[in-house]
Amino acid sequence: MSTTMEFPTVASALDPDDATVDVTVDSGDGFAGIVPAGASVRIVDLFGNQDVDTLFYDAQNLDNR
């Protein structure tokens, strides 16, 4: 029995050239940075068949995640 779920691909209306931060994180590495209020985050799998663990914190209150 397969537990794979398929989700539709939805094209973003956002232009990557408008990004205020553009970071490529190598496999096994991490990234920590501040995302301005109202900004968007886009995670792109550059090599296929990858997964991403993501955790967001409030920069003013690290207990709020």
pLDDT value, residue 1: 62
Map out the domains of the chain as residue ranges.
14-65
Please tell me which residue, 48 or 17, carries the higher pLDDT value.
Answer: 17
Rg (CA), the chain: 15
pTM exceeds 0.75, yes or no: no
| Nearby residues of 34 by Cβ (< 8 Å), 6 or more positions away | 59
User: Can you tell me the distance from the alpha carbon of 36 to that of 34, in angstroms, rounded to the nearest whole number?
Assistant: 6
- Looking at residue 2, its pLDDT comes to 67
Q: What is the pLDDT of residues 53-63, one digit of tens each?
A: 888 888 888 88
pLDDT digits over 3-29, tens only? 777 888 888 888 888 888 888 888 888
Give the three-class secondary structure for 17.
Answer: helix
